[in-house]
Amino acid sequence: MHIDLIIVILLLIMVVFYFRRWSNFVYAVAIIDIFLRILAFIRDNVPVPELKRLLAKYFSSSVPHIFDKYTNGILFVILMWILVIIYICFLFYVFRTFLKKRK
């Protein structure tokens, strides 16, 4: 099933149409990736087999894993570089917010 890809695309489309700012898109990508990584950690460390199967069936472990699952070759490399740029922007926004709060 492509449920993980559908969820990510729908969330990103909602963010783009609702907020319409680059920073909100960057935050949304980071939030989705962090959420998927938390679910992957829970999947790998929970003793309940039913929950493990549910999380393994419907959720990928991260955004790069989704890219790897549905693309290959040069498209995968391009998407990964775009993701790295988005992560750099996210780091910039978080650092800027941290400095503003510090004053």
Read off the pLDDT of residues 23-60 as tens digits, 9 standing for 90 and up. Answer: 888 888 898 899 989 989 999 998 888 888 888 888 88
HSE-up of residue 19 (Cα within 13 Å, Cβ side)? 14
Q: What is the pTM of this model?
A: 0.79
**CA–CA dist 34, 24 (Å, integer):** 15
**CA–CA dist 91, 34 (Å, integer):** 13
